[in-house]
Amino acid sequence: MRIGHGPWMSGSSSILVLLFLGCGGDERSLDWSGGAAPWEVAVKPSILVGDSPEEGGALNDVTAAARLSDGHIVVADGGMGASRLTLFGTDGQVSAVLGGTGDGPGEYDWITSVEVGAEDSVFVFDAMHQRLTLVDPHARRVSTLSVDPAIITNSQRFRAIYRRSDGSWIGLGLDNGRWGEPLQVARDTVLVGRLDQRLTTFHEFTSLPGPLNVRVEVEGRGYMGSPHFTPWPSVAAWGECAFSSAGESAEVEVHAGDRRALPTLELPVSPRPVTQEHVDDFRDRALARAPAETAPITRQLIEGAPRTTHLPFFSAMTTDPWGHLWLQEYQPPRGASTRWYVVSQTGQILTELTTPEPIRLLAVYTDGILARTTGPLDEQYVAFYPWVIGGQQMAAPRPECR
């Protein structure tokens, strides 16, 4: 199963195939007429963004992207401290720069989520400014809404927010761990809950164990890093459903619009043990990236980090237009490929999708998928791969949660 990675690939015979495995249970969101037909995605993307650096179209550290109804693609790149928002046309060329780095309206510092609303309005969340910006990409109008300071503390800020069908938001908040002496390990807590439309109230659904941080002192100075195999909890929304996973088990929590907890999804996925090869590879790659003067500190952080017995289960999630949950299996740093589980709202694994290592799935649409790809020189692209067979054959989604 392959997807082309970008313009450096040749040939057109390969396709990505998704096979839905069986039709047991009450899976009414799937159209099973004609049997479980495979889905195919063309190897060559219909739109490729990022291959025109001379026109300002080169991408660096893509954090989010979304596709408009007319086929245009909005891309956030630049990462923390250098974010920009760009509109690309269906030819892959820059159509408009919608915002650059800064503190004013329509300017950004760290874009972590981009979502499309009614009439192709674009919702952009800046985690550094704790601000939601509504952008009209064609009329170039913007309006902003900040998270109420009353629900932000020095230790709790929202990492990202995701829009729900009732106009409210699912917030992913980070509550930083506290350091103690001589304690040198701190664990963050990630809060998941509902933000109202005006971002003034937050109703917590659940709290999940977040990233683990390790701190060492060298010559009176403190250094901090994240140990190996520590996932970030992930969140997704569909309709009035909120899904969340800490990534450390095969469980996914589900919450409905009225804050009631629905039965936890327990996926039939087996744990994968952490091997010495995993640990050695992580250390070697980290040391290779570290400057010579900080390499000893990097080694101390890695060797002093607590070790787990098994790899995390999941590292990302999203949903598709039919209400299925897509869960990305965690891969060690040198993972050769990435596996996605496509799961029904009752926890049934419908299929497994494998993509090569440079592919990062960004969004699923009725006519294809949007993905970030990486080239041999670490250059980045955003590509849209249309379904050859698949999306258009699905039945209309159920509006209710579950």
DSSP-assigned letters across all residues of 212-237: EEEEEEETTEEEEE--TT-PPPEEEE
- The better pLDDT of the pair 179, 191 is held by 191
Q: Identify the CA nearest to 370 among candidates 21, 15, 73, 158.
A: 73
Q: What DSSP designation does 276 have?
A: H
Give the count of alpha carbons within 13 A of 282, CB side only.
Answer: 21
- The better pLDDT of the pair 35, 375 is held by 375
- The better pLDDT of the pair 166, 54 is held by 166
The two three-digit tokens of residue 378, written as one number:
């670490």
pLDDT at 145 over 70: yes
SS3 292: coil
Q: Dihedral angle at the C-alpha atoms of 13, 337, 281, 275, nearest 10 degrees?
A: -130
Please give the mean pLDDT across all residues of the chain. 78
Q: What DSSP designation does 397 have?
A: P
- The better pLDDT of the pair 283, 70 is held by 70
CA 370 to chain centre: 12
Asked whether 222 and 238 are in contact (CB, 8 A), the reply is no
The amino acid present at 15, given as its one-letter code, is: I
The amino acid present at 121, given as its one-letter code, is: S
Confidence band of 5 (pLDDT split at 50, 70, 90): very low
Residue 182, pLDDT score: 40
CA angle 45, 36, 15 (to 5 degrees): 25
pLDDT at 366 over 60: yes
The two three-digit tokens of residue 245, written as one number:
């996973």
In the chain, the percentage of residues whose pLDDT exceeds 70 is 76
The residue with tokens 């790149």 is 77
- Per-residue pLDDT, averaged over 364-381, amounts to 86
Confidence band of 401 (pLDDT split at 50, 70, 90): low
H or E stretch covering 20: none
Residue 227, pLDDT score: 64
- The better pLDDT of the pair 390, 347 is held by 347
Asked whether 93 and 55 are in contact (CB, 8 A), the reply is yes
Question: Tens of pLDDT along 45-80?
Answer: 899 998 877 666 789 889 999 999 999 999 999 877
pLDDT at 358 over 70: no
Q: Identify the CA nearest to 255 among candidates 268, 238, 269.
A: 238
- The better pLDDT of the pair 156, 78 is held by 78
- The better pLDDT of the pair 159, 40 is held by 159
